[in-house]
Amino acid sequence: TDPSSGNVYYYNHATGVTQWERPVVAKDGTVDAAAEDQTPALADDIADEDNVEDEAAGAVETVEEVQGDTDDAVNSALVVENESADSGSASDALPDGWAKDTDPSSGNVYYYNHATGVTQWERPVVAKDGTVDAAAEDQTPALADDIADEDNVEDEAAGAVETVEEVQGDTDDAVNSALVVENESADSGSASDALPDGWAKDTDPSSGN
């Protein structure tokens, strides 16, 4: 069996003849010459199959090389991405002595320096010489003013709530006073409707009066 194609072929050890077709024996005992002539064609077919196998093997190697290059490129991209992420994490770190917190009034993040007492809204910037940008430090008074303004707004809001509560209380007192007067008037009306001693009232069943 031909290992390349899986087809059966025939060969003669003595003559070296190889052929695809089953050899035919003539009546005189000799092998059909036409069958022997297939040897070159079979050799060409086998050579072609070998070439196809070589080309297929070469294509597989090419695909594997391309896959290897692709894997290398992906791995390189991942390394660059990880290095960028590490660099980003390092750049996100605050300068020494600085910390960040959230302003409870506005919910905004601010930054402060424990050593210098500087407080600012913007993230502190580190210059190439390692010092903090002075322009950022100048925001401290503005931040203090903003916080003071927020405190004033809160105080004004609290005062407005107290005023509303006072007005509500005065309104409730006025309503209660009106109810007392109404009840007193009702009691007075009931007293004036009383009949003299010895008198009573009833309804005439005929007229309803």
Q: Is the dihedral of CA 52, 57, 58, 64 positive or negative?
A: positive
Which of 58-72, 113-127, 152-166 has the largest mean confidence? Answer: 113-127
Q: Are 124 and 111 in contact (CB under 8 A)?
A: yes
Q: What b-and-e string marks burial along 50-60, b requiring 16 or more CB atoms within 10 Å of the CB?
A: eeeeeeeeeee
More confident residue, 138 or 42: 42
- What is the rounded CA–CA span in Å between residue 110 and residue 94? 12
Mean pLDDT of all residues in the chain?
75
Confidence class for position 103, pLDDT limits 50, 70, 90: very high
Four-CA torsion 168, 173, 174, 176, nearest 10 degrees = 120
Average of per-residue pLDDT across 59-83? 79
- pLDDT score of 154: 72
- pLDDT score of 102: 93
More confident residue, 37 or 124: 124
pLDDT over 70 at 53, yes or no: yes
Phi-psi region of 127 (alpha: psi -120 to 50; beta: other; left: phi over 0): beta
DSSP state of 122: S
Token output for 162: 């107290």
- pLDDT score of 150: 67
- Which pLDDT tens digit goes with each residue over 184-198? 666 665 555 677 888
Least confident of 17-26, 36-45, 134-143: 134-143
- pLDDT score of 134: 44
User: What are the DSSP calls for 64-101, one per residue?
Assistant: HHHHHHHHHHHHHHHHHHHHHHHHHHHHTSPPTTEEEE
Which of 90-99, 109-118, 148-157 has the largest mean confidence? Answer: 109-118
- pLDDT score of 136: 46
- Which pLDDT tens digit goes with each residue over 126-158? 777 767 664 444 455 556 666 666 667 677 777
